[in-house]
Amino acid sequence: MRNQTTPPKRCVFIVWKGYQRRVEVLAPLFNAKVNYIPHLFRHKQLRPLDYIYKMFVSIFFLIKYRPDYCIVQAPPHFAALPALLLRIPYMLDSYNGLYQSYWHKLPLFSLVMNRAQGVMVHNEEFLPLFKGMYPDTPYYVVPDPVRYIGSRVIRKSNQILFLCSFDEDEPVDAIIRTIQQAPEITFVITADPFRLTEYQRAQLESCPNVRLTGYLSPDMYHILLCSSTAAIALTTMEATQQSGACEALSSNTPLIATRSKLSEKLFGRWATLVDNDAESIVAGIRSLRNESLNLEEERKQWNVRVAMGVSQVKDKLRFWLDSLQDDDLSGIARSSGY
């Protein structure tokens, strides 16, 4: 067992993306150094080469930084392989798509899950749906931490931000039809339109009331968020907590979200909930009263749940690490002499 003079545990957060808001606000709670690794190749057919590149980048980073443990965002579960190869304890920070999509059918998924010290999930509704897949793996509920996002910009009454990335769990056709059916509104989208089919992209780009900004820096994105009269976050996936909804909560931005048991529980007191069809979404937009929100109390209650989840994860990792001998803490990464 370690004594009181032991230095603080070194943690890294491995993310095979260019940026993720959840990571930005979650990593400080673990004093974690974040290693963002953006895509080298955009085309999905080249994704295997992209993963090979990220594997090497992650391995060299872990050897250089020599952490005591890692938090790995998944999907993709392949991002945990460098830690597994270097015998560094790791925790998965998982999205529902890891289980509801094709990821759990891909090679090495079971190996990554069985070797993980635990899995962080976003909400309680997730657990009865998927915990049975790996009953021996500990699961911990850690919602997205919400940190206040403020700006002195004035909200534009006819500007609405779609909080989307054109992922497979988003009702893309309903998004396009909503833009077509509400010509009086300027819709802003930061997602990459090249993730759409050619037909969908042509439809979207033909709409005169849509502004496609592409990727924005966090500061510019926050200005956009705070200057919009509302934000829309939609999902087709069960038990999914939209990260975009947390951005709205963080910035006092009126929210329109997909109606579900989970969204009723998390956001029903202040958000407008709609079905995933254009008629319902447009009706939700036109029901907005353009009133200012103060969600400070909502944020406080939310972050109490976050603190409880983080504490449980830390207790688990502390127990695991303290049970190891000093020379085994970081496996090959520490014993290699780098």
Summarize pLDDT for 266-284 with one digit per residue, the tens. 999 999 999 999 999 999 9
Q: What is the mean pLDDT of residues 167-195?
A: 95
Neighbours of 174 (CB within 10 A): 20
Neighbours of 138 (CB within 10 A): 15
- For the question of whether the overall pTM of this predicted structure is more than 0.95, the answer is no
Same CATH topology for 11-146+301-335 and 156-289: the answer is: yes
Query: What confidence category does residue 5 fall into, taking pLDDT thresholds of 50, 70 and 90?
Result: very low
- Report d(CA 175, CA 232) in Å as an integer: 10
What are the residue boundaries of the structural domains of the chain, listed by start?
A: 11-146+301-335, 156-289
Which CATH fold topology does 11-146+301-335 show?
A: Rossmann fold (3.40.50)
Phi, psi of 255 (to 5 degrees): -120, 135
In sequence order, the β-bridge partners of residue 32 are 11
Per-residue pLDDT, 228? 96
In sequence order, the β-bridge partners of residue 230 are 160
Contacts of 274 (CB under 8 A, 6+ apart): 256, 257, 258, 259, 280, 281, 283, 284
Mean pLDDT of the chain: 88
Query: What confidence category does residue 104 fall into, taking pLDDT thresholds of 50, 70 and 90?
Result: confident
From 3.40.50.2000, 3.40.190.10, 3.10.20.600, 3.40.50.11740, which CATH number describes the 156-289 domain? Answer: 3.40.50.2000
The rounded percent of the chain whose pLDDT value lies above 90 is 70
Per-residue pLDDT, 338? 33
Per-residue pLDDT, 272? 97
Six token digits for residue 284: 């939700």
Q: What is the mean pLDDT of residues 190-219?
A: 94
Range with lowest mean pLDDT among 241-250, 251-260, 268-277, 298-307: 241-250
- Report d(CA 2, CA 20) in Å as an integer: 34
More confident residue, 131 or 117: 117
Tens digit of each residue's pLDDT (9 = 90 or more) over 41-90: 877 788 889 999 999 999 999 999 999 999 999 999 999 999 999 999 99
Q: What is the mean pLDDT of residues 88-106?
A: 87
Per-residue pLDDT, 293? 92
